[in-house]
Structure 1
Amino acid sequence: MTTAERHEKTGSTTGTGNEPAHWSAEQILEAVSPRRARRLLEATLAEGFRPETDPARGNVTAGEGHMLLMPSTLGDWSGIKVATVSPENPQRGLPRIQATYLLMDTATLSVRALLEGNSLTTLRTPAISAVAVDHLAAPDARTLLVFGTGPQALSHIEAFADVRSFTEVVVCGRTPEKVDAVVEFAQGLGLQARAGDQEDVRGADVVVCATSASEPLFDGSLVRDSACVVAMGSHEPDHRELDSGLMGRAQVVVEDTATALREAGDVVQAVADGALAEDALVPLADVVTGAVAPNTSRPRVFKCVGMSWEDLAVAVGVATGSQDAES
């Protein structure tokens, strides 16, 4: 299906002349699958883009919350995501986080498309995690342990199941009803799934932490040397999901060293504790290009916070409709 056909099917406004196209969340999720999002991000890194060239995420206080400003440029395309975080919004019946993406051509910086921003986050966050898992997890990984029961827990299960053949998914959460819903979701993907607890860390090949926790979720000494752990729950330096013990004995891979040292609490606090050296952090781009090999003698941890280039890469994939095939 072409981009024009997608717009016609879903009733979007493609725009005429210099009018930008408009993409709703539904249209974005239809245009780019989780597999396509992963391939877009991996290709960007494999082709030589260095995330350290991305501008730092801007954080501006506004009202009861704050605005996040996330600009980036990838060759012929530039863009910026403006996200707002308003903690009291759920009480008003509104989303806590809202976002809009402006996609521009780099040559003229003219706006070519306006995209609903939260859906880009929904796609790119599990996609970058799946890129890491595909390179860091054991090829024969069979057990996936999930901490969290929100939308990102669901999307990470789907994304990870596309890069490894899991025989079991174990779900840990505070609310039994929500845990049961995630288990049912995994089963709907054709996976064996059940509820679990922290002790299941001992047998997990891949662990993903998708929570809002501010303290470590489990004893890091339980993680096997062969395991891969993904922590993606926060981009705040005072929040962490993994303890310093695990961070200190693992090979720690990040999207970008400077960004991790600024925003990733799991990294910031482990460095402050003296458990992790700053120069030990490995950029994901080096793993993707083969410049650094996974160290299979110890756990591999991927800590991500989300970066501007990831939104842009997916937005370009949406707007151009290139490479529709999912094979």
Structure 2
Amino acid sequence: MTTIPLTAAETTSRLPYPALAEELSALLADPQVVVPARLEHPLPGGASLFVMPANDGAVAITKLITFTPANAGSRRPTIQGDVVVFDIATGTRQLVLDGPTVTARRTAAVSLLAAQRLAPRRDGPLLIVGAGVQGLSHLEAFAAGLGVREVWINSRSAASAEALADHARGLGLDARVVDDAQAALAHCPLVVTATPASAAVLDAPPREDAFIAAVGAFTPRMVELGAAMCHDIARRGRVVVDTRDAEHEAGDLLQAGMDVAALPALADVVRGNCPRPAGPVLFKSCGWAGWDLAAARLAVRATG
């Protein structure tokens, strides 16, 4: 059987954000889900190959992704690859999804699910730091799933920031570009950091009702948030990680010297073991093949 890889647009059409967030929640309650540790294989020139398998009782996937930091600023994306989906009962390859599209949408949907469960205030304004692919996907996810109507955008690239602001306006949102992300923290209860993560981009204390989704740093060597900020949020509110894998991957928290193993994960939140706290919330997301499995499950149903 020949399975033609879906285009980015075809993959997008099968993964609407509210439905994907619901599927992520359902996956966390599914006892048949198995997710081995992902393989990160270093490549010459600072690139990496990620191999990420997962399965439930009916579907098995492997996500194959290259991460090439040297592509930043060029026409080539930094993340490329595919998600291959198999039917377990027959061994048949069912779908080949566009990998970067799955990564962008499931990452934003994970942040959306966390915000739905944990954000003290969900109406915004939303501050997005980083106007790349993840900035765009989080903008769309929070607008579709939380009803956010106002967004503030900060980026090292003025052109990228203006382009994302124009996209937001095209969705009917109020959008502005801001030069000082630290100062914007005082005005925005929702925050997403989605940067190349070579150094801390935020280190000021956030609002008491802040929800921060930090998604740019997904290896121990990467960092977006300053150590003082991480400790301040832990003291006044709560820090939650996406999965237990963050114990080895959450660069922001590890470099801050925090005991990541002691932090609650999103599964604890979904299962009712981590109620919405008082004070600010930091949701640290590093990625997990289980999120790709949830996207595959939803895409298979949408295709079938």
TM-score, length basis structure 2: 0.89
The equivalent residue for 2:242 is 255
- Given the alignment, which residue of 225, 229, 234 partners 1:246? 229
Deviation at 1:26, TM superposition (A): 2.0
The equivalent residue for 2:176 is 194
Contact 1:220 1:242 in 2 (8 A): no
The equivalent residue for 1:204 is 188
Partners of 2:303 and 2:240 in 1: CA distance: 30
Which structure has the larger Rg? Answer: 1
Relative to structure 1, the CA distance from residue 208 to residue 100 in structure 2 (aligned partners, 3 Å threshold; closer, same or farther) is same
Contact 2:218 2:249 in 1 (8 A): yes
1:74 aligns with 2:56: yes
Deviations 1:184-238 (A, max 9, x none): 11122211111222201112111100101222212232x0121100100121111
Relative to structure 1, the CA distance from residue 253 to residue 26 in structure 2 (aligned partners, 3 Å threshold; closer, same or farther) is same
Partners of 1:315 and 1:254 in 2: CA distance: 22
Partners of 1:286 and 1:138 in 2: CA distance: 18
Partners of 1:176 and 1:100 in 2: CA distance: 31
| SS across alignment from 1:256 | coil
Code of the aligned partner of 2:242: E
Contact 1:145 1:169 in 2 (8 A): yes
Deviates more, 1:82-91 or 1:224-233: 82-91
Partners of 2:51 and 2:224 in 1: CA distance: 25
Relative to structure 1, the CA distance from residue 42 to residue 180 in structure 2 (aligned partners, 3 Å threshold; closer, same or farther) is same
Contact 1:260 1:267 in 2 (8 A): no
Deviation at 1:167, TM superposition (A): 4.4
- Given the alignment, which residue of 212, 217, 233 partners 1:234? 217
Deviates more, 1:235-244 or 1:59-68: 59-68
Code of the aligned partner of 1:240: V
Code of the aligned partner of 1:76: A
Deviations 1:236-292 (A, max 9, x none): 1111111222222331111212x112111012112x2xxx33354111011112121
The equivalent residue for 1:13 is none
Partners of 1:110 and 1:226 in 2: CA distance: 48
1:303 aligns with 2:301: no
Code of the aligned partner of 2:253: V
The equivalent residue for 1:5 is none
Code of the aligned partner of 2:193: C
Q: Trace 1:157-168 onto structure 2 (pairs within 5 A).
A: 157-168=139-150
Relative to structure 1, the CA distance from residue 50 to residue 213 in structure 2 (aligned partners, 3 Å threshold; closer, same or farther) is farther
Code of the aligned partner of 2:203: D
Deviations 1:163-187 (A, max 9, x none): 3333421111122222221211112
| SS across alignment from 2:42 | strand
The equivalent residue for 1:320 is 301
Q: How many residues align?
A: 297
Deviation at 1:54, TM superposition (A): 2.0
Indicate the RMSD between aligned Cα atoms, in angstroms: 2.3
Segments of 5+ residues of structure 1 without an aligned counterpart are 1-17
Partners of 1:230 and 1:111 in 2: CA distance: 34
Relative to structure 1, the CA distance from residue 211 to residue 49 in structure 2 (aligned partners, 3 Å threshold; closer, same or farther) is farther
Segments of 5+ residues of structure 2 without an aligned counterpart are none
Contact 1:254 1:284 in 2 (8 A): yes
Partners of 1:30 and 1:205 in 2: CA distance: 30
Code of the aligned partner of 1:145: L
